[in-house]
Chains A and B, each alone.
Chain A
């Protein structure tokens, strides 16, 4: 009896967690679903197709992806040397370094965005993709650094010494040995950075100033409007990358995710 109750509760929990997705699908792929019908009756792909074909949707998605890719790359490049030092070396001021590097997780994006808005307006980066990319790096960097530093902490430098002794050049060592051994964490760090950038709303709004439009911005204004089908379609497009990412890294995320959460 207890087992049945437990099973039922668990199913309810899972259902609640999946419900939003189901709702979006219901709205996105149905037509003429009005109040007070409890369930959609007519299914169609036309609304979804129309949403995808819409040039604004496509361009905002493209911009979002492009920005996220740039952000991930830059984040990685900046994070690698940082993470190496933090993960492998003990030095005075290490605590301070950690604190400074993780400041972005404490200071609200609202404040950061507002200040940067003025700064970028002054130096001409406002409303540009470069400006948005730069802004996005701020929230992604701490996570990238943290993921990679954990990987480095578990990394044995002797492998590099071994390669050196065997005659490899520094570039070779880095690309053929170090990066390959860090590969799983590299993937996780990159995907995290991508996700964070992809989901950014406020920073893009404040820096992009209406000229750089990504999917979340489109979605937000659609949601303030009211056509559920459009909203649902855009939402599905918006959450597609996060779902794919989570699915791809589920296991690794378990370990890393907990560490990152606990890092605070």
Chain B
């Protein structure tokens, strides 16, 4: 083939790499700097860990939000996985393109829009409340249970489930549709019943992809802002919401704390990503 020196590939990679690395690098630099009080919008200060101490203090709202975010992320991911698994197994028996189309359709909806739709459905004056009223189950809006903008994040969890189930289902379906039909036949031929095939053949096949998908989904939910901002309440707040509120506060100290929280979120997400990579490598 053509003889090119080893430097050439990197020249082609340079534009994109530079853009990404410079922006990410600078962003990271300023994030850390601000968290340390060193650099801020106004001017320079001294390096101080006070923001870190304040955030990680025992009575800080950080811990409450951390717990709340973990609750939302783990619950949403878990429930979505179970539903997605059942859905994928059910749909894999039929190879209909309309299924994938319908699932892809859902993917087109941004998370924000889905959350808004949920708001319109489930709020106390929303569609379901109106149906309940016209059926005579309730008399006034405030008799309808609070499902969105509630203290337990039910609306938030439902919103994420509604978006992540199709996403995970599509991942699982692509695994199931590639080869598994034959393995299923082979297993049946060797004497396995329907449930045995599910347990010994189908699920082991999709487990790696499901795990990878779950970690991806978890990381995304944990660090996402829009949905908990829209469907959450003042207390407890999800971690990203807390971070942003602090960051937009005119008080410099609050800004630094917001940065700290944001960096912690990033750290956790990166950790999850690394775990996922390690698991992926072990599969090989």
CA distance A9 to B243 in the complex (A): 42
Q: Are A119 and B26 in contact (CB under 8 A)?
A: yes
The residue that B108 contacts in the complex, of A36, A246, A258, with Cβ under 8 A, is A246
Q: Are B17 and A137 in contact (CB under 8 A)?
A: no
CA distance A220 to B247 in the complex (A): 19
Residues of chain B within 8 A of A235, CB atoms compared = 113, 116-117
Q: Are B109 and A20 in contact (CB under 8 A)?
A: yes
Q: Does B39 contact A (CB under 8 A)?
A: yes
Cβ of A117 to closest chain B Cβ, rounded Å: 8
Q: Does B89 contact A (CB under 8 A)?
A: no
Residues of chain B within 8 A of A261, CB atoms compared = 167, 170-171, 174, 213
The tally of residues in A whose CB lies under 8 Å from a CB in B reads: 81
Residues of chain A within 8 A of B87, CB atoms compared = 13
Residues of chain A within 8 A of B99, CB atoms compared = 10
Q: Are B12 and A85 in contact (CB under 8 A)?
A: yes
**Most A CB atoms within 10 A — which of B6, B104, B258?**
B104
Cβ of B39 to closest chain A Cβ, rounded Å: 7
> Given A119-B27, A201-B112, A257-B170, A108 and B265 touching (CB < 8 A)?
yes
Interface positions, chain B 96-145, Cβ under 8 Å from A, are: 98-110, 112-114, 116-117, 119-121, 125, 127, 129-131, 133-134, 141
CA distance A125 to B96 in the complex (A): 49
Cβ of B89 to closest chain A Cβ, rounded Å: 13
Q: Does A245 contact B (CB under 8 A)?
A: yes
Q: Does B24 contact A (CB under 8 A)?
A: yes
The residue that A239 contacts in the complex, of B110, B141, B170, with Cβ under 8 A, is B110
Residues of chain B within 8 A of A134, CB atoms compared = 23
Q: Does B250 contact A (CB under 8 A)?
A: no
Residues of chain A within 8 A of B266, CB atoms compared = 107-108, 110-111
Stretch at the interface among B54-62, B70-78, B222-230: B222-230
CA distance A245 to B219 in the complex (A): 27
Stretch at the interface among A44-52, A58-66, A75-83, A171-179: A75-83
Interface positions, chain A 193-222, Cβ under 8 Å from B, are: 195, 199, 201-202, 216, 219-220
Q: Does B181 contact A (CB under 8 A)?
A: no
In the complex, the chain A residue whose C-beta lies closest to that of B114 is A20
Q: Does B190 contact A (CB under 8 A)?
A: no
The residue that A17 contacts in the complex, of B23, B39, B105, B265, with Cβ under 8 A, is B105
Q: Are B103 and A17 in contact (CB under 8 A)?
A: yes
Q: Does B186 contact A (CB under 8 A)?
A: no
In the complex, the chain A residue whose C-beta lies closest to that of B4 is A89
Residues of chain B within 8 A of A114, CB atoms compared = 27, 31, 243-244, 247, 258-259, 262
Q: Are B6 and A91 in contact (CB under 8 A)?
A: yes
Residues of chain A within 8 A of B205, CB atoms compared = none
Q: Are B167 and A223 in contact (CB under 8 A)?
A: no
The residue that B13 contacts in the complex, of A36, A81, A104, A199, with Cβ under 8 A, is A81
Q: Does B212 contact A (CB under 8 A)?
A: yes
Q: Are A82 and B30 in contact (CB under 8 A)?
A: no
CA distance A101 to B26 in the complex (A): 16
Q: Are B113 and A239 in contact (CB under 8 A)?
A: yes
The residue that A262 contacts in the complex, of B20, B103, B166, B174, with Cβ under 8 A, is B174
Binary contact track B261-284/A, C-beta < 8 Å → 1, others 0: 011011001100100100000000
Q: Are B230 and A82 in contact (CB under 8 A)?
A: no
CA distance A223 to B229 in the complex (A): 11
Q: Are A138 and B116 in contact (CB under 8 A)?
A: no
The residue that B262 contacts in the complex, of A84, A111, A243, A257, with Cβ under 8 A, is A111
Q: Does B198 contact A (CB under 8 A)?
A: no
Q: Are A17 and B102 in contact (CB under 8 A)?
A: yes
What would 9 more interface pairs be, CB under 8 Å, given A38-B133, A110-B265?
A13-B87, A24-B117, A91-B6, A108-B262, A115-B30, A219-B113, A239-B113, A246-B107, A264-B216
Interface positions of A (Cβ within 8 A of B)? 9-10, 13-14, 17-20, 23-24, 27, 35-38, 77-79, 81-82, 84-86, 89, 91-94, 97, 100-101, 103-104, 106-112, 114-119, 121-122, 134-135, 137-138, 141, 145, 195, 199, 201-202, 216, 219-220, 223-224, 228, 231-232, 235, 238-239, 242-243, 245-246, 250, 253-254, 257-258, 261-262, 264
Q: Give the 7 A-B CB pairs with smallest separation, nearest first.
A: A115-B27, A36-B133, A108-B223, A20-B117, A115-B31, A81-B12, A82-B16
